[in-house]
Amino acid sequence: MSAEIGSTTAAATTPRGYGPMRRKEDARFLRGKGRYLDDIRLPGMLHAAILRSPYAHARIVSIDTTAAEAHPKVRAVITGETLAGLGLAWMPTLSHDVQAVLATDKVRFQGQEVAFVVAEDRYAARDALALIDVEYEPLTPVVDARRALDPDAPVIRDDLTGRTDNHIFDWEAGDAAATDEVFARADVVSSCDMVYPRTHPAPMETCGSIASMDPVTGKLTVYTTTQAPHAHRTVYALVAGLPEHKIQIISPDIGGGFGNKVGIYPGYVCAVVGSIITGAPVKWVEDRSENLMSTSFARDYHMHGEIAATKDGRILGVRVTVLADHGAFNGTAQPSKLPAGLFHVFTGSYDLQAAHCTVTGVYTNKAPGGVAYACSFRITEAVYLIERLVTVLATDQGWDPAELRMNNLIRAEQFPYTTPTGWEYDSGDYPKTLGLALQLADYAQLRREQAARRAAYERGEADELMGIGLSFFTEAVGAGPRKHMDILGLGMADGAELRVHPTGKAVLRLSCKSQGQGHETTFAQIVAEELGISPDDIEVVQGDTDQTPFGLGTYGSRSTPVSGAAAAVVARKVRERARIVAATMLEVSPADLEWSKGRFHVTGDPSASTSMTEIAMAAHSDLELPEGVEGHLDATCVYNPPNLTYPCGAYVCVVDVDPGTGQVKVRRFVAVDDCGVRINPMVVQGQVHGGLADGIGMALMEVMAFDTDGNHLGASFMDYLLPTAVECPSWELGETVTPSPHHPIGAKGVGESATVGSPPAVVNAVLDAIGVRHADMPLTPAQVWRAMQGRSLRTDLAIG
């Protein structure tokens, strides 16, 4: 699917370090030999199923489990009451709220967990759900976030003491007075209301967990689909009061996470309780509908944005108000001190004088979670907002959207650049990146073609209209404990451990956890680059808390910025140890040695040299090392990033729209990404391809819609549409490389870039084609058709 232009492609041979290399893990994935959670079978293992609420909002009058307990294959039925006895009926969320593990008082969204059945097989567990008798007293649900703060809105969270409304938080960033001043002196102001609809990460593999409590040793082993094994362990220990050193979390192969597997779900807690009660391992795995209905969603932001400029096209400031629908429990995955996550970067890639934004979070009767799904903590929404606003301004003024962007981008010499909301972008050459994208797309020619097409359409000689959409994004990825970048309130720095064996093979242990991003290959390449060992000889170990160092895990495209840095630092430590060993071997001073990939040689005498393999063997031998120098070649490090890394990208999307049907065809997509130094360009391209497909999905088809009763209208892939190869063009990728100045190897994260950057490009293209100023995503044929009639609707609510 890749047409590759504007970038260098080296031969696809195995490199010693950076460069395109086929993924090592694909040897098992492509043969169907991956080991996913549901492949794991422990002796005596029991199976669980969850009874879920059919209502979005209802009081629980009674729960009768007698008949289910009498089922011959049922071993335990757990309700909120059982959990309350253990102090586990409620659990903390990622945002310092609490969430019912199993509902006791009320159900607050459709699909909420009510009871947990443990049985001898999966079928019996499912059958027994039907034997549980729950009496509900239905309550009016709050479905539309805009109604959540109405004085007569039902109070969803009456479990919280003193709560009389559905308000969660108010948050603001930027300088209100300075922004008002800038707007007062602006020549032109454009504004726009837009909804970023609720979407879902929808990984191929759903979530699940197998808990096994050893009644003799008291050791709890949990196999679970988590992106953050160490964080999960600490939370289990803190919440359940279990001894942390006796908890082992094993995250096996993961079939896609996309943020869906960051949080802790009620089923995980219940599986642990089920194992403690039954004395056997308990497996719980969601089905597709359960995943779509109850696990963490994304977006659901209602945004009002204003943008101010001078009459000659200088953008001065941005003013934003947001209503954020967080569902029934505030469970958004984001740094604890930032209730609206990194929405802070809503000023985008432009050099503005002032900006201000307020975000209000509200409860509604929908599933909790939020942010997750290639989000980088709300940057997806921020980029969509600013890239739509800039386009709306261009439309209103009749300016060219490419020129407007080019004239206002932060310039290369302004880095490090502090945004009006106080974030320090590390590096970039935005005009160069945009320039390359425009060149690859042949923007001027596209505009000519578009004009000709419109003229032909108006003459009745063409059936379709053509649209060109642009976006430019800056991402903020690689969060660590410094700068308040915790998660779950935990500020756990990320470790790396590297051990070189006597024969020169190495094992690298990391705190992050691949869900498909190719870590086993790319992190081996980092060590290979530093030590000159072949990546094939370096094993990357992740996902098992007994085997790996502490750290927050993989989300917010942090693995390369954080664990990638740790891998480079730990390899350099090993190299310095190797230098001492080599100096002893060659009988010179360490300072007299020079390193060239894979060997040390004596300065001025290249023939006096020794290879990494020889050094490794010597390090484990009877070689007399200098006083105080330990043998072996191993090292550990803990990396706490000084700042986030800020990758960027410029995207150009070309669409053809059939005005008769509203059908959109993405004809071309040019994506120029700058993620600093690329470790494995092939893997980076794969990440970008996936993200671009995601973007097409969100822009054109994906939405979690609800009806007025709070019924979920997207609980299967029949209703929640995902893009396929059919909807995707042959991607045209390009690259610019601006290394991160504070990262040991100059790399920036890229895993979410394309998902963040592509939706506004697609939307801008479709609206450009049909000549409509704004319509909300997803731009389904019906929505496009309505927009052309001047009747764009809310697509996330059946009530419109």
Chain residues that interact with ligand MCN, rule: CB under 6 A: 203, 256-259, 374, 515-519, 522, 554-560, 564, 675-680, 683-684, 687, 690, 747-752
371 vs 701, beta carbon nearer ligand CUN: 371
Residues numbered 548-587 forming contacts with ligand CUN, rule: CB under 6 A = 555-556
The piece of 147-155, 253-261, 418-426, 484-492 that touches ligand CUN (CB under 6 A) is 253-261
In the complex with ligand CUN, the residue whose CB is nearer, 68 or 485, is: 485
Angular region, 551: left φ>0, alpha ψ -120 to 50, beta rest? left
Minimum CB–partner distance for residue 203 and ligand CUN (Å)? 10
Instruction: Select from ligand MCN, ligand CUN, none the partner in contact with residue 74, using the beta carbon and a kind-dependent cut-off of 5 to 8 Å.
Output: none
Nearer to ligand CUN by C-beta: 74 or 228? 228
Least distance between ligand CUN and beta carbon 387 (Å): 19
Contact 91, 99 (CB under 8 A): yes
Task: For the CB of residue 32, give the shortest distance to ligand MCN in the complex, in Å.
Answer: 17
257 scored as a contact of ligand CUN (CB under 6 A): yes
At residue 550, φ and ψ (nearest 5 deg) are: -60, 160
380 or 545: whose CB is closer to ligand CUN?
380
Helix or strand or coil: residue 63? strand
Q: What is the DSSP letter of 48?
A: E
Does 720 engage in binding with ligand CUN (CB under 6 A)?
A: no
Smallest distance, ligand MCN to C-beta of residue 379, A: 11
Q: Could you tell me how far CA 59 lies from the centroid of its own chain? A: 35
Taking the C-alpha atoms of residue 135 and residue 784, their distance in angstroms, rounded to an integer, is 43
Shortest distance in whole angstroms from residue 262 CB to ligand CUN = 6
The amino acid present at 102, given as its one-letter code, is L
The yes or no reply on residue 651 touching ligand CUN (CB under 6 A) is no
Task: Go through 710-748 and write b for each residue having 16 or more CB atoms within 10 A of its CB, e for each that does not.
Answer: bbbebbeeeebbebeeebbbebbbbbbbbbbebbbbbbb
Stretch 212-251: interaction string toward ligand CUN, x if CB under 6 A: ---------------x------------------------
User: Hey, is 137 helix, strand or coil?
Assistant: strand
Look at the block and give the residue holding tokens 């995250």.
Answer: 251
Query: Of residues 726-765, which lie at the interface with ligand CUN (CB under 6 A)?
Result: 752
Q: How is residue 574 written in tokens?
A: 């090993």
- Tokens found for residue 232: 């999960």
Residue 775 as a binder of ligand CUN (CB under 6 A): the answer is: no
Choice between 182 and 679, CB closer to ligand MCN: 679
Q: Pick between residue 417 and residue 555 the one whose CB is nearest to ligand CUN.
A: 555
Instruction: Give 550: exposed, middle or buried? Use CB within 10 Å, 0-12, 13-18, 19+.
Output: middle
The verdict on 374 binding ligand CUN (CB under 6 A) reads yes
Give the closest residue to 357 by CA, choosing from 334, 378, 331, 376: 378
Q: Is 690 in the site for ligand CUN (CB under 6 A)?
A: no
The answer to whether 389 and 349 are in contact (CB under 8 A) is no
Binding partner at 517 among ligand CUN, ligand MCN, none, C-beta below 5 to 8 Å by kind: ligand MCN
Please, which residue, 371 or 769, has the CB nearer to ligand CUN?
A: 371
- Classified as helix, coil or strand, 91 is strand
Which residue, among 566, 551, 558, has the nearest Cα to 751 in the 3D structure?
558
When asked if residue 258 is in the footprint of ligand CUN (CB under 6 A), the reply is yes
Strand 354-362 vs strand 315-325: parallel, antiparallel, or unpaired?
A: parallel
Q: Does 373 bind ligand CUN (CB under 6 A)?
A: yes
3-class state of residue 92 by DSSP? strand
Six token digits for residue 513: 């956890």
Query: Token pair of 125, please?
Result: 């567990």
SS3 of residue 132 by DSSP: coil
Measured from the CB atom, the residue of 433 and 687 that comes closer to ligand MCN is 687
Tokens of 145: 């976030």
- By beta-carbon proximity to ligand MCN, the closer residue of 190 and 515 is 515
Where along the sequence are the contacts to ligand CUN (CB under 6 A)?
227, 257-259, 262, 371-375, 555-556, 752
